[in-house]
């Protein structure tokens, strides 16, 4: 079964993940910090930049942010996890492309 596009994103999981990042000032600033670090490392290779930003954000969300230790007692993170659904369906490349756009806007401003 092929994923269906949702709200202009690859699928609902990708949309929901970016929506949660985008709607939380701390999450967005943290994601942009990671993105800017990678931008400095890979600014001349857009493909590598997108890959590494996607992997860093994926790792941050799956391994750091949404671990059981962090989610326990934190209703906001719990709602994020249950709202997104399967993180395996998230298109991390698409998340990265969006964050790279934000970061480049901030850098040029």
- What percentage of the chain's residues is helix, strand, coil (to nearest 5)? 75, 0, 20
pLDDT in tens, 2-61: 558 999 999 999 999 999 899 889 889 999 999 999 998 987 899 999 999 999 999 998
pLDDT at 24: 86
pLDDT in tens, 53-86: 999 999 998 887 766 666 666 666 666 767 777 8
Q: What is the largest CA-CA distance in the chain?
A: 43
Token digits of residue 41: 């490392």
Q: Whole-prediction pTM value?
A: 0.85
């Amino acid at each position: 079964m092929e994923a269906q596009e949702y709200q202009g994103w690859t699928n609902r999981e990708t949309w929901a993940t970016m929506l949660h990042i985008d709607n939380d000032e701390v999450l967005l600033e943290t994601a942009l910090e990671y993105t800017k670090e990678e931008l400095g490392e890979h600014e001349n290779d857009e493909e590598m930049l997108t890959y590494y930003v996607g992997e860093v954000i994926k790792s941050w969300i799956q391994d750091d942010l949404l671990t059981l230790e962090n989610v326990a007692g934190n209703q906001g993170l719990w709602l994020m996890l249950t709202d997104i659904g399967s993180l395996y369906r998230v298109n991390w490349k698409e998340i990265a492309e969006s964050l790279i756009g934000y970061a480049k806007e901030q850098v040029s401003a």
